[in-house]
Amino acid sequence: MQQKQTDENVRAALNLGHEHGVLVSAEGVGEAAQGEPKVLVTMGSDSDLPLMMKAVDILRYEFGIPCLVQINSVHRDLRAAVQHIENLPASIQVVIACAGGAAHLPGNIADLRADLPVIGVPRDLGALKGIDALLSMVQMPEGAPVAVMAIGDAGAVNAGIHAAKEVAIGDPAIRERLQVYAEKRKGKVRRQNETLEEKIKG
């Protein structure tokens, strides 16, 4: 009961209605989530969500960083997107923005929020294999930078890791988790070498 009250207080303080996003942490989603969101994970459509969950999941499970997840379409409802981005909770330190096609969302956010780093994840919509979104994001004119990741799954995961690195600048606990994550990756190479002779023998 007390936890529920605390969660409600957090949501009230963050001013989160459904329209303003869903809080996600390692503990759960929405009312089950805990902590203040440090990263906004936003996208142009919920069709981008399966891709963006790769960023959300690495943030919450690998690094313990709560996120706010929000749909913002600068093609379908520009005014609502501006309203959301201008009124983010003060705890947000980094924005991850995904879109496909003529992907204007990350660049628009970089202009709206001079105070926040923006990481762009280009999505492959099929016709141009994501090159359209990649070029739309990476070719930002001078003054409103977007840190653009790779197209697709690797880009989404790397966006989560890059956002964690930004949060880690002011949080030694996250720095440690980044080191643990790096050690796990080294372990993978060690294990592959251990089984290499057997694999070559076939």
Annotated binding site for substrate: 45, 48, 76
Site string for ligand RP5, 126-165 (x = CB under 6 A): ----------------------------------------
Nearer to ligand RP5, 48 or 166 (CB): 48
Report CA Rg, the chain: 18
Nearer to ligand RP5, 121 or 164 (CB): 121
Q: Per residue in 153-188, is it b (16+ CB within 10 Å) or e — as a string?
A: eebbbbbbbbbbebbbeebeebeebbeeeeeeeeee
Q: Is residue 100 close enough to count as binding ligand RP5 by CB under 6 A?
A: yes
Binding range to ligand RP5, per CB under 6 A, among 58-66, 84-92, 97-105, 172-180: 97-105
Q: Is residue 43 close enough to count as binding ligand RP5 by CB under 6 A?
A: yes
CA distance 102 to 131: 10
CA distance 117 to 98: 14
DSSP 65: -
Site residues, ligand RP5 (CB under 6 A): 43-45, 47-48, 73, 75, 99-101, 123, 125
